[in-house]
Structure 1
Amino acid sequence: MQLTRYTDYGLRTLIYLALLPAGQKASIDEISLTYDISRNNVNKIVHQLGKAEIIQTQRGKGGGISLAKPAEKLNLADLVLLLENSMQVVECVTPLCRIQPACKLKGIMAEATQAFVNTLNNYHLSDLVAKEESKLVAILEIDRTTTL
């Protein structure tokens, strides 16, 4: 199974925000430049995460993006399920698969996907930055000395 780029970029955005000191906000441009992701993609991700109340967005002077909840409260399974359009691994309908009536592949893949989601349920956003925080901050060149 492979996650879409959209989900990958969404998780990268959340990792970036989790590394910011409390009260500090990031901009769409900052995240876009840091990860070399198009501004349009980051904008779509921020919009979806904002609607889901995962992040806070504020326009204008002193505005920016920040986590709406502590990273410890953001479950990875919930985040992936929010960002992924579909967790269906095989498509049996379009085009209609001829062996569908006798095939067990869809059921096995659904079971494997559930195991994947169950594993993600054991982790939170904070687990992605724990123990590696200082390395990640250095790699991403996050300025932790100023607040916006």
Structure 2
Amino acid sequence: MKINAFADVSLRALMVLAAAPGATLLTTQNIADAVGTPYNHVSKAMARLRSLGLIEVERGRSGGSRLSSVGRRATVGQVLRDLDTRTDAADCVAPGGECPLIHECRLRVALARAREAFYRELDGVVVAELPGSRQMAPVFQLIGLRPGL
């Protein structure tokens, strides 16, 4: 199963925030630079993560974002479920409109079960436990943070 670009950016932003030392606040621009994604995309992801209660935001000149306590416990499966806006695992459309096989379609049911199994497998993976110090050291250097901060 493939996740959408929005979920990918959101998970990468959460990983950067999880690896940030202590109470360090990171700006959206810092996170965009760290994950190599345009600011606008990261900004939308950060807004959604905030609405889900996964991050805390402090406004102002020295403001930024950090993982919330909920975000520190969030699993990849939970985050992907929250970010998945698709109502169907398949695009049940045909050139003339809705697929003629859609009524009582067992394929749609099987695909929905497979998607849930995918998420369930990721329910045991805590996002905050994913980033390692060797992985994040060059990322933090890129955005101007000392790795041992």
Q: TM-score, normalised by structure 1?
A: 0.85
Work out whether residues 54 and 71 of structure 2, in 8 Å CA contact, stay in contact via their aligned partners in 1. Answer: no
Single out whichever of 118-127 and 95-104 deviates more from structure 2. 95-104
Distance 2:102 2:84 in 1: 25
Count of residue correspondences = 143
> Which residue identity lines up with residue 134 of structure 1 in the other structure?
S
Q: Which amino acid aligns with 1:112?
A: A
Residue of structure 2 equivalent to 1:111: 113
**CA deviation after TM superposition for structure 1 residue 68, in Å:** 0.8
Moved over 6 A (4+): none
1:85-123 deviation line (CA, Å, top 9, x unaligned): 126311325731112236421111111111111101111
Match of residue 134 from structure 1:
133
Q: Which amino acid in structure 2 is aligned with residue 119 of structure 1?
A: E
Rounded to whole Å, the distance in 2 between the matches of 1:61 and 1:101 is 55
Change (3 A) 1:5 1:84: same
Q: Is the 8 A contact 2:53 2:71 kept in 1?
A: no
Q: Percent identity?
A: 23
C-alpha change, 1:52 and 1:117, in structure 2 (3 Å) is same
Alpha-carbon distance change, 101 to 88 in structure 1, aligned in 2, over 3 angstroms: closer
Counterparts of 1:43 and 1:102 in 2: how far apart (Å)? 40
- Counterpart residue type for residue 60 of structure 1: G
Deviations, residues 51-105 of structure 1 (Å, cap 9, x unaligned): 2211011111221010011655112211111222126311325731112236421
Query: Is 2:19 the counterpart of 1:19?
Result: yes
- The higher-RCO structure (CA 8 Å, 6+ apart) is 1
* TM-score in terms of structure 2 length: 0.85
Mapped partners of 2:126, 2:99: distance in 1: 37
- C-alpha distance in structure 2 between counterparts of 1:139 and 1:47, whole Å: 26
Computed over aligned residues only, the root mean square deviation of the Cα atoms, in angstroms, reads: 2.0
Unaligned residue ranges in structure 1 (runs of 5+): none
